[in-house]
Amino acid sequence: MKTTLVSTLALLISGAIAPMAHAQDSQATDQQLAHSVRVAEARSGVGMSHVFVFAHSGQIMLLGFVPERDHVARAERAAMSVPGVTSVDNRLSPDAGSLNGH
């Protein structure tokens, strides 16, 4: 009886821990991917001070403002060049006028 109870508890606990560990791993991976995208964009010359990068399972969303119109396309190309990126939802807008005053 004790062996069955202990085995059942061990199985329940391991089943509860495994999804949490996987969620933490995928969250860390998403954070690393977003960081890699930010680095790639900065290295390609994109003005990143008003850009947010969100990552989820290889999908990237770029949101914010860039100082020049050509930075919008440059940011998307840089994001797609990062290993692990599967798609980019580019919601960047050029807005040089309001960024120059900050």
The enclosing domain of 70 has a CATH number of 3.30.1340.30
Give residue 28's pLDDT. Answer: 67
Give residue 22's pLDDT. Answer: 46
Give residue 21's pLDDT. Answer: 45
- The answer to whether position 49 is within a domain reads yes
- The answer to whether position 20 is within a domain reads no
- The answer to whether position 32 is within a domain reads yes
Give residue 48's pLDDT. Answer: 87
pLDDT tens track, the chain, 102 positions: 555 554 554 555 555 544 444 445 566 699 999 999 999 999 999 988 899 999 999 999 999 999 999 999 999 999 999 999 999 999 999 985 554 554
- The answer to whether position 16 is within a domain reads no
- The answer to whether position 5 is within a domain reads no
Number of independent structural domains in the chain:
1
Whether the model clears a pTM of 0.75, i.e. scores above it, the answer is: no
- The answer to whether position 19 is within a domain reads no
Domain limits for position 43? 26-99
- The answer to whether position 48 is within a domain reads yes
- The answer to whether position 14 is within a domain reads no
Task: Annotate 3-46 with three-state secondary structure.
Answer: HHHHHHHHHHHHHHHHHHHHHHHHHHHHHHHHHHHHHHHHHCCC
Give residue 95's pLDDT. Answer: 80
